[in-house]
A and B are shown apart, each in its own frame.
Chain A
């Protein structure tokens, strides 16, 4: 198992303290830190192992069952290792009409990898995902968290794969529209900050929680 340590957060106490500081100091608040903790592990390892689920459960004061339940709800969390390039093929209606099934079959055959597997060279893993909101440029796929590769025709697919094999990925056609930065802030592809800031929060008057 690559890079797996039994206690991922043991030497990252400042980070853990920072994440917990974003939530109320109550048992419910501790549980809320589940998502950023999961994201942290996933970003580092590409997936969250059972041992790390148990570790996160202990940090949040809940059980591994609860952690797995939350994790499994979101298709972006993985319980099995992913490749260096995680290809997420949109398989919802628009892309499906535009040929995403053929794209998927092509990827699975040429890369010799099934969902949940990593190709022998460790480069590729594939996943079918639901609509990524790029219907006008179907079929499309997202690679890792980098960005959208749109209107993926057979020839474009071949170019993308060749570039990935050479570890010189092509630039995405578009960045992922909204990402969450290290401070927990939502950021548009343009760099504009959106959503509430977690800094400078003040308690509402009249409440205790």
Chain B
């Protein structure tokens, strides 16, 4: 299909919207309401273009213009500018944007004047300022002045829609993105326009927005109306250090941008990844980052006279050496959290080989290797999904969104030269959902409310499907049998009970019978990747569940004491916070969070995704690779793995993958055999942990504290101590 935009002819696939044709040709139109993953509705009327098409005579020939060989099909122009986001480009269509059409330029400037009529010009105090679509487009396409000389509409500027989202009703331009988002993506009709005309505002009648995926509306709001309350007033957009990285709170591996300012992580926003999270992230990933900048351990601690006291790394290494005196290095058990990077896992595997310890483990993990070959796009485009024993909201929320995407047709917007289609005309408002394509077996969850078949089962296992004993289970099995591209999602309830032999046989039988692809949700962010490294207890060694039976243990970012376990002998704890385990440890080494490391993680699909280091202030904290190098020094062994580069070189030989220079969207690569071992305990997935929730009113508390201290100090302002000139930077 040939379309001519501002005189440039481009070749486009059928079904392309006019707005995508314009961008594909390298031209520009302003728009506020269109969004790649939402239905185009033409609400904002900014993406105006002039367009026209050739017309055919009754005999099928084109109506021509001009004489003889110079004749060309006559273009019949629409009499008025049209919204390009809701118009389909057709063969031979001509489009003129503001670049070549004064009519369009004037229409857009006029429309911008209308949009700005009631918009408060409070950009200097608006969190969106500097990254605001309205601000940018008003600058590019507006008149620069308003002829509206009257008082503007006034409304509530601090209207809380929930604890996490604050609405500024004056700034809203009624693009309806947030309303459509809730209807179309999580399938919750909880937001809508109230009143009409100039009085229109957005509100919910459900007593607040449901936690889960509400934060995404703060990303898609084209103005500063919907604001992330955790990041509200914490910095201007140009002050943040934007770090594109991968979220390590769950195995979905969503692409995020971590925004830090003055060494604090202030905001997390979603980054588009067409393969994984499209444009959405869950609320835990967006709002649960507060722990990264609160109460961090910044220096090593050693136990002196029963108390943990701050010290330096050299002293900590000496304390480890003294504490392990008389023990064989092989007696030191090594445990790490399964959201550690592949590089960190490889470093630990290498150190375990050097010391010869049999007690190596990562946690959380499941006891057996489970075939898992479905991608997230496979789920979205499946024609049947059966979820067995999984609470996706706790285990991997984005998988839940992709299942919901499957229910409304699994339409993935195509990709053009400018990126994902801005307006995919196949997406419609109030999409017809097909709940009969989803069966959920397990405990009631958010997703089970959308399922056509729900079988409540306190304990779900594969036998529920293989030998169905209820009507619902039979329906689920039939669903898998009759579908062309079915996907079976397995969660914690099933995987905790998976044993090496029988489970694998049952699953492969089921897969052979139904042709289903399988997605087993790993226990933690990188459990799937670390499973390919030998990080499980060897013969004679202790697993993480038996941490109290170790003669000495190195525990990285795990908290067995909080889970009710006791520590064994001499304990070295590597953690970001002073956890219950750290408080019981002999030596505590400061660790970095998932936002501050470089490395590679493997998500639920087996996709290698890069982590980048956000500019956070973590004092002397070190990642696991450097910490293990220090530990090796204390143990008196020489490890080759002393940093990221050597760890990545080791991964190249160990797994046969080059993890340097991964594309931002990640790649799926085979990683070789999986090491599995019994775990000795069950894993209960929990997305939100206590440290991720914002403490009530941290600002108020800070101000009260400050004022109280001012009163106590007779209103003397606190002064920084004497600074040495020059500094160390």
Contact = CB atoms under 8 A, between A and B. Distances in A.
Interface string B50-61: 000000000000
B204 interface: yes
B189 A72 contact: no
Interface string A49-83: 01001100000001111111100110000000000
B195 A65 contact: no
Given A62-B189, A63-B190, A50 B205 contact: yes
B93 to A, nearest CB: 31
B194 interface: yes
Contacts of A73: 195-196
A65 B196 contact: no
A141 to B, nearest CB: 22
Nearest to B199: A72
B206 A64 contact: yes
Interface string B521-561: 00000000000000000000000000000000000000000
Interface of B: 189-196, 203-206
B196 A72 contact: yes
Nearest to B183: A66
Contacts of B206: 63-65
Given A68-B194, A72-B196, 10 more contacts: A53-B205, A63-B206, A65-B189, A65-B191, A65-B204, A66-B189, A68-B192, A68-B203, A68-B205, A69-B192
B235 to A, nearest CB: 33
A69 B194 contact: yes
A69 B194 CA distance: 5
B300 to A, nearest CB: 53
Contacts of B189: 62-63, 65-66
Nearest to A54: B205
28 contacts: A50-B205, A54-B205, A62-B189, A63-B189, A63-B190, A63-B205, A63-B206, A64-B205, A64-B206, A65-B189, A65-B190, A65-B192, A65-B203, A65-B204, A65-B205, A65-B206, A66-B189, A66-B192, A67-B205, A68-B192, A68-B194, A68-B203, A68-B205, A69-B192, A69-B193, A69-B194, A72-B194, A73-B196
A73 B193 CA distance: 9
Nearest 10 pairs between A and B by C-beta?
A: A69-B192, A64-B205, A65-B205, A63-B189, A72-B194, A68-B205, A65-B192, A72-B195, A73-B196, A65-B204
A177 to B, nearest CB: 22
Contacts of A63: 189-190, 205-206
A69 B189 CA distance: 11
A50 to B, nearest CB: 7
Nearest to A70: B192
Contacts of A62: 189
Contacts of A65: 189-192, 203-206
Nearest to A68: B205
A67 B205 CA distance: 9
Contacts of A50: 205
A73 to B, nearest CB: 5
Nearest to A28: B430
Contacts of A72: 194-196
A68 B206 CA distance: 11
Contacts of B194: 68-69, 72
A63 B183 CA distance: 11
A78 to B, nearest CB: 13
Nearest to B430: A28
A65 B204 CA distance: 5
A184 to B, nearest CB: 24
A68 B193 CA distance: 9
A64 B203 CA distance: 11
A72 B203 CA distance: 11
Interface string A128-144: 00000000000000000
A69 B202 CA distance: 9
A68 B190 CA distance: 11
A67 B193 CA distance: 11
Contacts of A66: 189, 192
Interface string A33-56: 000000000000000001001100
A181 B189 CA distance: 32
A6 B195 CA distance: 25
Nearest to B197: A73
> Which of A54, A62, A63 counts the most chain B CB atoms within 10 A?
A63
A62 B188 CA distance: 10
A202 to B, nearest CB: 25
A73 B201 CA distance: 11
A67 B203 CA distance: 12
A35 B205 CA distance: 18
Contacts of B204: 65
Contacts of B192: 65-66, 68-69
A69 B196 CA distance: 9
A65 B205 CA distance: 5
A100 to B, nearest CB: 20
A68 to B, nearest CB: 5
A74 to B, nearest CB: 8
A43 to B, nearest CB: 22
A62 B190 CA distance: 10
A24 to B, nearest CB: 14
A72 B196 CA distance: 7
A50 B194 CA distance: 14
Contacts of B190: 63, 65
A73 B192 CA distance: 11
A92 to B, nearest CB: 14
B188 to A, nearest CB: 8
B365 to A, nearest CB: 40
Nearest to A53: B205
Nearest to A73: B196
B620 to A, nearest CB: 51
A72 B195 CA distance: 5
> Which of B195, B203, B205, B206 counts the most chain A CB atoms within 10 A?
B205
A50 B206 CA distance: 10
A73 B195 CA distance: 5
Nearest to A71: B194
Contacts of B193: 69
A66 B430 CA distance: 12
Contacts of A54: 205
Interface string A151-171: 000000000000000000000
A65 to B, nearest CB: 4
> Which of A50, A63, A64, A65 counts the most chain B CB atoms within 10 A?
A65
Nearest to B189: A63
A64 B204 CA distance: 8
Nearest to A50: B205
A37 to B, nearest CB: 16
Contacts of A53: 205
A69 B183 CA distance: 14
